[in-house]
Homo-oligomer: A and B are copies of this chain.
Amino acid sequence: MTVATNDPPRIAVQAAIFSVRAGTDRDELMIPLVRRTREPFLDQWALPGGWLGDAEGLETAAGRTLAATTGLAPSWLEQLYTFDNASARVVSVVYWALLRSDLVEAQRAAAGSPENVEWFPVEALPDLAFDHRSIIEYAVWRLRNKAGYSRIAAALLPDEFTLAELRSVYETVLGKRLDPSNFRRLLEGSEALVPTEDFRTGPHRPARIFRYNAEVDFADPGPL
């Protein structure tokens, strides 16, 4: 692919999309990648994305990419960073997103995966096109970071969940075990969760089911 030196730069939008998958030991943080169908990096895995459409907003374009890749709307979507590739005359705006794991499962069962899309654990990525590996690492860093002071992890779960399920998400995202009792106290003190009257049963004492407090925001003001 050759580009005339004075073409105006084109604008691409890409998305690092995260969800969690139940694993045997602990859960895994998963990300969907697409196999490239053209040069450069033909047949390599890459972040899903596309060109910014005429009269299209950046976030809209990111949502469109998400829908094309997963058939779903994100429960969280935030801009990550804007990269330039002066030699290729491309500026690429990368977003990161969270999807509810139950919706991902349902969608896969119903519609299967689109051609050329595959989910990988972030701990075991294949070779990636461009510098997409370091972009993903940066996105993971942001996710971890934000999980510390915000309630984002909730966006990976259904509306209703037990504390153990939520804790498992945090453990997956943060990559370390958390003390159940301390975790409970932290969240019960935070106003972020509302207890329901329902319980999840199993071979153990029933666990109370919670939902998010819709009043509570996800911290940090955002650009606007």
Contact = CB atoms under 8 A, between A and B. Distances in A.
A179 interface: no
Contacts of A10: 8
A6 B89 CA distance: 19
A134 B93 contact: no
Nearest to A137: B221
Contacts of A93: 82, 91
A205 to B, nearest CB: 40
Interface stretch (A36-44, A55-63, A68-76, A118-126): A55-63
Contact of A52 (B9, B135, B138): B9
Contacts of A52: 9, 91
B138 A221 contact: yes
Contacts of A141: 220-221
Interface string A103-139: 0000000000000000000000000000100110110
B55 A223 contact: no
Interface of A: 5-6, 8-11, 52, 54-59, 79-84, 86-87, 89, 91, 93, 131, 134-135, 137-138, 141, 220-224
